[in-house]
Structure 1
Amino acid sequence: MSGVNAAEHQQEPPQVPSPGTLLVDTGHRNRVGEFRGVSGPYWSLRPVCGGTEWEAEPAHVRPPEPIERLRAETARCNARSAGRIL
């Protein structure tokens, strides 16, 4: 018996981000989306260029790397200038 409590090995649930925060969903091929809110045990994310929200498991979500953030922000600016989003 190791004397280690099993509860000590459980991970803390991730802290809920602010709406609009860019996140990467590793459960959906590293798809980048904006955090929209909590839906039961899932987080709702929306594509940065608009579109249908999807639900992600918080354990599969991480902050974007600088290049992922740059690509997402550039895509959003291009979509806005083309009139696809407001």
Structure 2
Amino acid sequence: MPKTYDEHEAEQHQPLATGSPQPEGELLPLRAPGVGDPVVDLSRGIVGTYQGAADGRWQLEPLHGGEPWTADPVHVRTATVNERIRDGMRHAEPAADVRYTG
């Protein structure tokens, strides 16, 4: 049976961790996304793209330009379609020829 929209969205909010549950105090091995894949840094609440890894941290860049940053992989997950759209809308410039009349 195909997944519902809610099931798909819930799956998108899972951390990029693999493997079975680990005993408390042990870290899960993380699977890095592909270069350019959209992700969310939960510690900052920012949508960005994965650019690589160095010294145990992931290098991310904002989707729509700006300063790159590094993030702890345990605070990063795949961005949902809705998050990518909202981020694009936040950075979109209003059309110059649109006039609102009342």
Amino acid at match of 1:69: R
RMSD of aligned alpha carbons: 2.2
Identity across matched positions, percent: 31
TM-score between the two structures when normalised by the length of structure 2: 0.59
Q: Residue 52 of structure 2 aligns with which residue? A: 37
Q: Which runs of 5+ in 1 are unaligned?
A: 1-7, 80-86
Q: Specify which structure has the higher proportion of helix.
A: 1
State the number of aligned residues. Answer: 71
Alignment of 1:1-80 (within 5 A): 8-9=22-23, 10-28=26-44, 30-74=45-89, 78=92
Shift, 1:52, TM fit: 1.2
| Partner secondary structure for residue 27 of structure 1 | coil
Shift, 1:71, TM fit: 2.2
Distance 2:90 2:33 in 1: 22
| Partner secondary structure for residue 20 of structure 1 | coil
Shift, 1:13, TM fit: 2.0
Q: Which one has a bigger Cα radius of gyration?
A: 2
Amino acid at match of 1:23: V
| Partner secondary structure for residue 71 of structure 1 | helix
Is 1:49–1:75's contact at 8 Å kept on the other side of the alignment? no
Distance 2:28 2:81 in 1: 25
